[in-house]
Structure 1
Amino acid sequence: MATAQDTLEIGVLVYPGAQLAAVHGLTDLFAVANRLRHELGALERPQLRVCHWSETPDRQLQVTFDTHPGTGHQVRAMIIPPSLTQAPSPELLERYRANLRQWHGDGALLVSVCVGVFFIAASGLLDGRPATTHWNFAQSLAERFPQVQVEANLPLLDDGDIITSAGLMAWTDLGLKLVERYLGETLAAETARFLAVERVSGGQQPGSVFSPRLDHGDEAVLKVQHWLQGSGARDVSLTAMADCAGLEQRTFLRRFRSATGLKPTEYCQQVRVGRACRMLEFTNRSIDQIAWGVGYQDPGAFRKVFFKVTGLAPSDYRRRLATRAG
């Protein structure tokens, strides 16, 4: 029997109207990744445990399918699949609001495909944050949730603790993105090769991609992480972060580094550079404009930090992306 220590739980929210092809396709994709993990001898990596979460008749969420039954549940990522019908109704969205906030507050990565983003938006967790969705629903998302920064031109938007994707069939690439995050680039590439699908993301970025640690269990630090991801780590200070955590500064510094593996300043740099990478890829803004946009008053300082994090100058990063796209 598998234990909680050697498995990593990925939940799939099976709401009324959810696209079952995505639900079962993701389950199969992670099963392939698990088999390749074993065949390639990557046993230091966790097994991916997939659980389908559905409502009971009295509207309580419970697990209705589990690839590793018999142990307790600690959801590390919750996927909200697409629907073949239309954008979810306000009543349906409200039914899952508290659960999504609870999972996110406990350190779970929230992941959506197509209209699945409406569930995250309805929880309030995307207020002031960027998100993508299918082009057909972008206007509706923006109108219903005006505090969400809708970026419908992006096929997949990884914002650290929330990942949104646009296309109805984007669940394949999103599944591979999670395999890359939890099992590594090699297993993600091998899974894609076995399934004969081309990856839209992952393995193509010339610089590093920041995947923050969210499963450390320190609620005070996690609260600060969510705040930094939501604000883009702009205009923050050690005092403000310690106040957010409700801790004395020295205690906060120690616990933050222990939980995340980074100093608060390093973490903020990672968040800002991640957003800069997205701007370099999907906008025509100048390097200076991007520097200001992610919170650096001195573009020269931004260039130094960007090189430190990615190993590339911003102009080289953009040039390599253009070369790969061509």
Structure 2
Amino acid sequence: MDAKPAVVELGVLIYPGAQLAAVHGLTDLFAVANRVAAEHQSAQLPRLRVSHWQVEGDQPPVRDHDSDPGTDAGLVAVVIPPSIGGFSAAQVPAGLIHWLREQHARGATLGGVCVGSMLLAESGLLDGRSATTHWTSAKAFAERYPHIKLKADTPIVDDGDLITTAGLMAWSELGLRLVDRLLGPSIASATARFLVVEHSDSASACGSNFAPILNHGDAAILKVQHWLQGNGATDVSLTAMAERAGLEERTFLRRFRAATGLKPTEYCQHLRVGKAREMLEFTNGTIDHIAWTVGYQDPGAFRATFRKITGLAPSEYRTRFGNLTPPHISR
């Protein structure tokens, strides 16, 4: 008897003013991804289960749609669609804020599209982190959330457990990012081709953007992962990580690898290279400066690690995937 594939659930939030085209578009995108994955006939690929969560008053969201009813194993991701008008961050229900924090604490990745990123900002989870939002909301966002590093000129900020996008129609790219994480870059690319939508070539060409495993159920290790995401894994030590987890070092090493599939040093390398990839794509900073920013004192060590993970030198990566023109050099 063939083993049934694992099921992973992605929740799509419906709040007052949410763009329903994004809600149903994401639902269709994940359905297409399931069909493409099924054509590969790989029992190792999970099946995506999509649920809609309706915000009603000040209560936590309630499930009002499920594409594959069954045992509730917890959400691996929550997507907050954009709003096309009438959204006020000051009126976000307390029940929704608590629910978002709860899902994050359980290991779900949270993604906000356009002004949907404001809901993440209201939760406080983005404090001290980088994020983006729609250009029309950038000024108000920066004023209301001074502790968030706003990158208004960056179309998507993938910070592992928290992802924000700037465009009103960027729900498709966020959806494809999640497909890439859960089903792999080839399935994400095939899904994009079927839907005839753009998808970043960097993931499929250089391996997926780093997708940390967060829904493993080890609260002590998840606490350290969230901490590493917040500080960019710069200037951290095994001792500091073990202390953050409240574990003896040997126990921490064993449980960290069991939960994430990586040694702490490897995990930190992937985090740093992921941030470097974003900077190479969306900024004109020098490679040495980027190396220093993501935590490498030795640019040579950074270049070696970057090539090991992506297969390209940083300069080659920027040439292929950079979204900015080189700065003008006066003669």
**Same fold? TM cut 0.5:** yes
Higher deviation after alignment, 141-150 or 54-63: 54-63
Corresponding residue of 1:26: 26
User: Are 1:309 and 2:315 an aligned pair?
Assistant: no
1:177 aligns with 2:170: no
C-alpha contact (below 8 Å) 2:50/2:68 kept by paired residues:
yes
Change (3 A) 1:214 1:323: closer
Instruction: Quote the offset at 1:162 in angstroms.
Output: 1.1
Q: Deviations over 1:14-68 (max 9, x none)?
A: 1111111111111111111112222332342111111111134562421000111
Whether the aligned pair in 1 keeps the contact of 2:7 and 2:46 (CA below 8 Å) is yes
Q: In structure 1, what is the equivalent of residue 149 of structure 2?
A: 149
Separation in structure 1 between the aligned mates of residue 325 and residue 49 of structure 2, nearest angstrom: 34
TM-score (norm 2): 0.91
Moved more, 254-263 or 200-209: 200-209
**Contact 2:282 2:324 (8 Å CA) reproduced:** no
User: Partners in 1 of 2:208 and 2:176 — Cα distance?
Assistant: 17
The 2-side partners of 1:58 and 1:129 are apart by 27
Distance apart, 1:257 and its partner CA: 0.9
Instruction: Name the residue aligned to 1:239.
Output: 239
Q: Which residue of 1 aligns with 2:15?
A: 15
Q: Residue in 2 aligned with 1:109?
A: 109
CA apart distance, 1:315: 1.6
- Gap change, CA 1:257 and 1:70, over 3 Å in 2: closer
Query: Could you list the per-position Cα deviations for residues 53-110 of structure 1 after superposition, in whole angstroms to 9, with x for gaps in the alignment?
Result: 1134562421000111232241000001100115533231544211111111100010
Residue pair 2:185, 2:204 contacting (<8 A) in 1 also: no
User: Runs of 5+ in structure 1 lacking a partner?
Assistant: none
Quote the residue 1:213 is aligned against. Answer: 213
What residue is the counterpart of 1:192 in the other structure? 192
In the alignment, the residues of structure 1 paired with residue 236 and residue 201 of structure 2 have an alpha-carbon distance, to the nearest angstrom, of 30
- The alignment of Structure 1 onto Structure 2 pairs a total of residues equal to 324
Q: Is the 8 A contact 2:58 2:95 kept in 1?
A: no
What SS does the corresponding residue of 2:157 show, helix, strand or coil?
A: strand
The structure-2 alpha-carbon separation of the partners of 1:297 and 1:46, relative to structure 1 and needing over 3 Å to count, comes to: same
Distance in 2, matches of 1:208 and 1:49, equals: 21
Give the share of equivalent positions with the same residue, in percent.
58
For residues 220-242 of structure 1, the C-alpha deviation after alignment (integer angstroms, 9 at most, x for no partner) is: 00110010001101111111111
Distance in 2, Cα, partners of 1:188 & 1:86: 33
Distance 1:230 1:86, change over 3 A: farther
* Structure 1 residue 206: Cα displacement: 4.0
Q: Aligned AA for 2:270?
A: Q
Aligned partners of 2:131 and 2:164 also within 8 Å: yes
1:66 alignment counterpart:
66
Are 2:281 and 2:323, in contact at CA under 8 Å, matched by a contact in 1? Answer: no
Q: Structure 1 residues 86, 205: CA separation in 2 closer, same or farther (over 3 Å shift)?
A: farther
Q: 1:165 to 1:201 in 2, by over 3 A?
A: farther
RMSD of equivalent CA atoms: 2.3
CA distance in 2 between counterparts of 1:128 and 1:267 reads 20
CA shift digits 1:239-258 (9 cap, x unpaired): 11111101011100110011
Question: Does residue 1:265 correspond to 2:233, yes or no?
Answer: no
| Contact kept? 2:307, 2:314, Cα under 8 Å | yes
Give the unaligned 5+ runs of structure 2.
327-331
Q: Deviations over 1:144-192 (max 9, x none)?
A: 1111111111222211111111111111121122111111122212211
SS of structure 2 residue aligned to 1:312: coil
State how far apart, in whole Å, the 2-side matches of 1:157 and 1:266 are: 22
Instruction: Name the amino acid aligned to 2:112.
Output: S
Matched, 1:96 2:105: no
The question of whether the paired residues in 2 share the 8 Å contact of 1:12 and 1:53 is answered with: yes
Q: More deviation in 53-62 or 31-40?
A: 53-62
Pairwise CA distance, 1:305: 2.0
Rounded to whole Å, the distance in 2 between the matches of 1:267 and 1:200 is 23
Secondary structure of 2:85's match?
Answer: coil
Cα deviation, 1:110-140, whole Å, max 9, x if unaligned, reads 0110011111111111111111111111111
Equivalent position of 1:54 in the other structure:
54
Moved more, 289-298 or 248-257: 289-298
Aligned-partner residue type, residue 136 of structure 1: T
For 1:172 and 1:230, the matched residues in 2 are separated by 26
Q: Is the 8 A contact 2:107 2:215 kept in 1?
A: yes
Give the aligned residue type for 1:22.
Answer: A
Distance 1:237 1:43, change over 3 A: same
Paired residue for 1:77?
Answer: 77
2-structure distance, mates of 1:312, 1:258: 29
* 2:139 counterpart residue number: 139
1:9 alignment partner AA = E
